Amino acid sequence: MSHHISLTRYLVERQREDGLIPGNLRLLLEVVARACKSISHAVNKGALGGVLGTADTENVQGEVQKKLDIIANEVLIEANEWGGHLAGMASEEMDTILSVPNRYPAGEYLLLFDPLDGSSNIDVNVSIGTIFSVLKKPEGGAEVGEQDFLQPGRQQVAAGYCIYGPQTTLVLTVGKGVAMFTLDREQGSFVLVQEHVQIPPDTQEFAINMSNMRHWDAPVKRYIDECLAGKEGPRGKNFNMRWIASMVADVHRILTRGGVFMYPWDKREPHKPGKLRLMYEANPMGWLVEQAGGAATNGRERILDIAPTELHQRVSVILGSKNEVERVTGYHLNA
């Protein structure tokens, strides 16, 4: 690997060598990266920037919005609306899709994002992040509509996240493995720090919100009970637990050292298939994990094969080290 090449050079080389990144997709990814740099700057200011705390509004999920949720959403919209690479955008923070304003040319891509995931951690200075997914607008049809966004995750042409932690790191796939770029604040650019990221197929570390244990379905309870039984139990090894309550941070740890992340369906709101959103959380994270040799299911089927019916639909998520995900999925299918 050429040491520490810039994101721009990496994308140009992928475009030239693999033909994987047409010009407008490269432009889109560079614009998203620049937007993430601006969001990182706002996040890093914290109280000094007057950006902590809540706005007096709720999003489509009925969640109270943090000031930074709204700032991040606006940064991504303003950065992407004029470039001519997008037909439209969808965000966790917006009820419906946003088509490119008529004063700008419309492009062939659809950008979906959770502008600031894990925002319950903002005020306590714990890592948060931006998650994004890129689809192609289906051929035909003049004006972009919500239906154009409702494509299974396997149709993504790019996906990634930017984690705002001790480092600001952009993690990206365009379908040829996963690469990581850390923001060099002196240069003001993202620099390649790792490519061909691989998740170990086995692990001794699980991530789940244990306070929900009494609400879990039997297969999840069985899996976690076996992990907790440790060396003396059926797994014959001890497990460690992590739960950061920022999907971006938990997934980054799993991409870096393996593990299994679970936010399964539970009995608290039985009509909801899960807490996390399919289109702009589970799909991009699921593709990244698969591109790094891991697996991502909803307990019964591959997340990327789920045919979406609603823009903000939720899904049960089990992702990470392949052998662990297959075990949990097997417990569901054989329950």
Q: Which of 120, 125, 147, 187 binds ligand P6P (CB under 6 A)?
A: 120
Query: Shortest approach of ligand P6P to residue 276 CB, angstroms?
Result: 6
End-to-end CA distance of the chain: 45
Q: Where do the H-state alpha helices sit in the chain? A: 7-13, 23-45, 67-80, 146-149, 218-229, 247-257, 283-291, 322-333
Query: Shortest approach of ligand P6P to residue 95 CB, angstroms?
Result: 18
- Give the range of 1-9, 52-60, 195-203, 240-248 binding ligand P6P by CB under 6 A: 240-248
Query: In what side-by-side order are the strands of the sheet with 158-164?
Result: 98-99, 86-91, 109-117, 128-136, 158-164, 168-173, 178-184, 189-194
Query: Shortest approach of ligand P6P to residue 247 CB, angstroms?
Result: 3
Per rule CB under 6 A, is residue 171 in the interface with ligand P6P?
A: no
Q: Which is nearer to ligand P6P, 107 or 118 (CB)?
A: 118
Q: Is the distance from CB of 107 to CB of 86 less than 8 angstroms?
A: yes
Per rule CB under 6 A, is residue 73 in the interface with ligand P6P?
A: no
Q: Extract the tokens encoding 41.
A: 């700057």
Query: Shortest approach of ligand P6P to residue 275 CB, angstroms?
Result: 6
- Give the range of 141-149, 164-172, 184-192, 243-251 binding ligand P6P by CB under 6 A: 243-251
294/325 Cα distance (integer angstroms): 8
142 Cβ contact partners less than 8 Å away, ≥ 6 residues apart: none
- Give the range of 101-109, 166-174, 239-247, 327-335 binding ligand P6P by CB under 6 A: 239-247
Site for ligand P6P in 99-118 (CB under 6 A): 117-118
166 Cβ contact partners less than 8 Å away, ≥ 6 residues apart: 127
Site for ligand P6P in 267-326 (CB under 6 A): 275-276
76/111 Cα distance (integer angstroms): 10
Q: Which is nearer to ligand P6P, 109 or 161 (CB)?
A: 161
Query: Shortest approach of ligand P6P to residue 10 CB, angstroms?
Result: 27
- From residue 196 to residue 215, the character string flagging contacts with ligand P6P as x (rule: CB under 6 A) and all else as - is -------------x------
User: What is residue 100's DSSP assignment?
Assistant: P
Q: Extract the tokens encoding 334.
A: 């054989």
Which residues lie near ligand P6P (CB under 6 A)?
A: 117-118, 120, 209, 245-247, 263, 275-276
